[in-house]
Chain A
Amino acid sequence: MTMRALPVGDRALLIELADGEEAEALHAELLRRRATGALPAVGEIVPAARTVLLDGLADPARLARELPGWEIPPLPARAEEAVEVPVRYDGPDLAAVAALWQVTEDDVAEIHSAAEFRVAFCGFAPGFGYLTGLPQRYAVPRRDTPRASVPAGALGLAGPYSGVYPRSSPGGWQLIGTTELELWDPARVPAALFAPGVRVRFVREGR
């Protein structure tokens, strides 16, 4: 695994990897090391598409020197526990996605609910997770015209990612379904059901 550690100001490092899978593996290793006390104190560990940001470091240069010597195990293929998200595959873009995938709408629901997902990273809004797990051939473009308002609980696809809007907002993802599950509730512990590294399965309902 090739890592590039880019200094970000005086207290942060941006670690760049070859792809999203490597970024997820490094993120898992960082959490493991933090849990065992093997990581210097850090304020934020923020994974993204193919980077992991470490913010609030006392000595980023030292960590940058040590990183190349790290052994980073690949992600385990399957986890024991996953967050199960009940979904009705009834989104307004279901037909468009079926056309892009060259399958029926029913197949879209079957394919999507058979996949095992992982929250690669969060962003855009509190509790909005970018989920990986669909085979690359199912990647879809964003809508040409974003919707001014996407309802909370809408399940969408964009590029290689699946995501659920935690609250109503504008959005350009292709919407294929709906869930009643409350993904984001700041009064709950945990506030976000989709935190980076969490496994997710979508369970088809209402057939």
Chain B
Amino acid sequence: MTDRALSVVRAGALTTVQDLGRPGYAHLGVPRSGALDPRAAAVVNRLVGNPESAAVLETTLTGCAIRPRGPVTVAIGGAPCPVTVDGRPAAWGAPVRVAAGALLEAGCTTGGVRGYIAFAGGVAVDPVLGSRSTDLLSGLGPPPLADGVVLPLGRPVGPAARADVCVPWPAPPAELVLRVRLGPRADWFTDAALRAFTSGVYRVSAMSNRIGLRTEGPALERARDGELPSEGMVLGAVQVPPDGRPVVFLADHPTTGGYPVAAVVDERDLPAAAQAAPGTPVRFIPVR
């Protein structure tokens, strides 16, 4: 096999291949998928000279360990974590040259949830419907990484950033403030429920995943009974299931759903939502 490949030594809690996702197929029931923190994925790609469309690894809380078969430039960003190469500390948030067969390790995050690892040339698994992203809802794209798996790498196209480059990273949120626009189904909830939603404090639930950021806090009481016939769902939709606890839809969200959407989160606030650890306070701020 070519040396443009890497083997997975420790896959971590959940590590997936992600790129910009596969938008444009929602009408076929295909989720958009893609990196949950696209800003961080774009920065690590830029650091190693990749286009923004290159596939990276997205880690969850516990990082992962990788052994590239050939020499490769990598960059690790997103949620801060210790980085080592063959046990020696290496730079986080900057390009790092890893020798053939060396062990690159991203440790547990010291804040935030999702780390991103870019390799010069990108992770080159076969695309499905134009994307290499793992879609955990519908199972499209490569399965989550497992120990011992070998992934192909592409050919580098551009020069890596200078090693002394300094990138500003937003700190993982101590409090997650999500700007929302009410609707389309805010009228399914009582006025008291909407007041509680926009003035109460919620917390990020440990049940959150790539499909949705689940919350714990005041339950939203319905103003009407009955069922909503399935309707199209957008990224950032705040869907309220029968237990009344708002769920903010993230990249792997279903394309249609039957629970009412009380509000929609501004897309610019979703990268922070992807980095909010369980227990983080959440406030929903209505904007016009």
Contacts and interface: CB of A to CB of B under 8 A. Distances in A.
Given A8-B183, A8-B184, A53 B232 contact: yes
A128 B256 CA distance: 12
B79 interface: no
Interface in B236-258: 236-237, 254-256
A7 B267 CA distance: 15
B234 interface: yes
Contact of A126 (B140, B183, B232, B267): B140
B107 to A, nearest CB: 35
A126 B138 contact: yes
Contact of B28 (A6, A56, A127): A127
A134 B264 CA distance: 36
A53 B138 contact: no
Interface stretch (B19-27, B54-62, B214-222): B19-27
A9 B266 contact: yes
A46 B26 contact: yes
A52 B232 contact: yes
Nearest to A43: B23
A175 B186 CA distance: 36
Given A125-B138, A186-B128, A6 B183 contact: yes
A10 B26 contact: no
Nearest to A187: B128
A49 B183 CA distance: 19
A195 B181 CA distance: 31
Interface of A: 6-12, 14, 43-53, 55-56, 121-128, 186-187, 191-192, 195-196
24 contacts: A6-B185, A9-B264, A9-B266, A14-B231, A43-B23, A46-B27, A46-B232, A46-B255, A48-B256, A50-B229, A50-B231, A51-B229, A53-B234, A55-B234, A56-B23, A121-B27, A122-B27, A122-B256, A123-B255, A123-B256, A126-B29, A126-B140, A127-B28, A187-B128
